[in-house]
Amino acid sequence: MRAYVVESYGTDGLAQAEVPRPTVGRSDVLVEVHAAGINPLDTMVRNGEFKQLLPYRRPFVLGHDVAGVVVEVGADVDRFSVGDRVFSRPRDLRTGTFAELVAIDQADVAPAPASLSTAEAGAVPLVALAAWQALVEVADVQPGQKVLVHAGAGGLGSTVVQLARHLGAHVATTARGGDAERLRALGVDEVVDYTTQDFTQVLSGYDVVLDSLGGANLTSSLEVLRPGGIAVSVVGPPTPSFARQLGRPVLAPVMWLLSARVRARARRLGVRYSFLFMRADGDRLAQLAALYDAGVLRPVLDRTFPFDETLEAVSYVEQGRAKGKVVVVR
Ligand SMILES: NC(=O)c1ccc[n+]([C@@H]2O[C@H](COP(=O)([O-])OP(=O)(O)OC[C@H]3O[C@@H](n4cnc5c(N)ncnc54)[C@H](OP(=O)(O)O)[C@@H]3O)[C@@H](O)[C@H]2O)c1
């Protein structure tokens, strides 16, 4: 089959290649890929930024999001049948959706939302799961709370603002002024134009901040929290619990050190800091599918690219200017 494979780590490391059809394990479904969303994580994995944490064996197929149709099932599969329309964010080390076929453990798969096009369904699994895990599982957002979502115009942000609104929060976001109207239509109450305004000067008393920019943005985010509030960063620095999540507890001291400064600063301000690296979860994805079908969540697509232009699609996302999700379709 044709696939986009990382042969060597680096910016030129991704190329189309002919690779063997995936092996279908007993609990796997084999999915014919019809759409695969692009994520910044793809470029980070391609560049080797995660090679110590996620030891993929090269050459490996890249890609973390998929929508398609089940064409084969393993002997123990009891949730899906051939012909089912599904979507998924396969678990780490079993990714590989930039391909004609991908084998995925059935626990990571859910029926695709009936109301979404295939491109839309292929765009959302990673960001929808990340949004849920950040706002519900980590931050425990409650109705009436104030939530600041950075970079609301992006693939992740445009999903998180909608979920925050659904949870009953007052939602603020940072974005360009030109995106304000579009973001208000997604349920945002307050748009801070990051090109002309300093969000720390206009926002305060927030219960939750979702940081997807890191560095100084994260440090400043701690200042807009009320005492006891929480900043959840999806870009780091990682905390020791991430080492445990990866099954690499030996790395916990390194992550403790990496996050020592931000945790100390949070402690001084009387707020909390948490790092999130989202996890595959087919059951949760099925619940999120219901939110898409109910119209609570809406996919926000920037562009689609044909399969043969996957490299262009990855480069486009790499520029960091996407308005919503970018998807490769077949
Ligand atoms: N750990 C996890 O589980 C997890 C999950 C999902 C995503 N992430 C990470 O989160 C980050 C964002 O992901 P994504 O999919 O949303 O990326 P994306 O779609 O490429 O984000 C691009 C968006 O970010 C906006 N942006 C850039 N700089 C900004 C700033 N200073 N203030 C406000 N907005 C800004 C851009 O708006 P303009 O064009 O107007 O500048 C653009 O709309 C990535 O680093 C990704 O790896 C982590």
Q: Whose CA is nearest to atom 36 of ligand 1?
A: 321
pLDDT digits (tens, 9 = 90+) for 200-252: 999 999 999 999 999 999 999 999 999 999 999 999 899 999 999 999 999 99
Query: Residue 141 CB: number of other CB atoms within 10 A?
Result: 23
According to DSSP, the β-strands at 14-18 and 2-6 are antiparallel
Amino acid of residue 211: D
pLDDT-derived band at 278 (thresholds 50, 70, 90) equals very high
Q: Whose CA is nearest to atom 4 of ligand 1?
A: 234
Which DSSP string corresponds to 44-111? HHHHTTTTTTS---SSEE--S-EEEEEEEE-TT--S--TT-EEEE-PPTTS---SBSEEEEEGGGEEE
pLDDT digits (tens, 9 = 90+) for 124-178: 999 999 999 999 999 999 999 999 999 999 999 999 999 999 999 999 999 999 9
pLDDT digits (tens, 9 = 90+) for 79-126: 999 999 999 999 999 999 999 999 999 999 999 999 999 999 999 999
Answer whether 303 contacts ligand 1 (Cβ < 6 A). Answer: no
Token pair belonging to 86: 């599904």
pTM of structure: 0.98
Answer whether 151 contacts ligand 1 (Cβ < 6 A). Answer: yes
How far does the centroid of ligand 1 lie from the alpha carbon of residue 36, in Å? 18
Q: What is the pLDDT of residue 42?
A: 98
How far apart, in whole angstroms, are the C-alpha atoms of residue 139 and residue 85? 32
Q: Whose CA is nearest to atom 29 of ligand 1?
A: 151
The CATH class that applies to domain 127-275 reads alpha beta
How far apart, in whole angstroms, are the C-alpha atoms of residue 324 and residue 186? 12
How far does the centroid of ligand 1 lie from the alpha carbon of residue 284, in Å? 23
Q: What's the topology of domain 2-123+299-329? A: Quinone Oxidoreductase; Chain A, domain 1 (3.90.180)
- The rounded Cα 217 to chain-centroid distance in angstroms is 19
Which of 4, 15, 9, 93 has its CA nearest to residue 46?
A: 9
How far apart, in whole angstroms, are the C-alpha atoms of residue 288 and residue 280? 13
How far does the centroid of ligand 1 lie from the alpha carbon of residue 4, in Å? 23
Cα dihedral: 43, 44, 47, 51 (round 10)? -140
How far does the centroid of ligand 1 lie from the alpha carbon of residue 326, in Å? 12
Q: Whose CA is nearest to atom 20 of ligand 1?
A: 320
Domain residue ranges in the chain: 2-123+299-329, 127-275
Q: Whose CA is nearest to atom 23 of ligand 1?
A: 154
Minimum-distance ligand 1 atom for the alpha carbon of 152: 34
Q: What is the pLDDT of residue 2?
A: 98
How far apart, in whole angstroms, are the C-alpha atoms of residue 83 and residue 315? 33
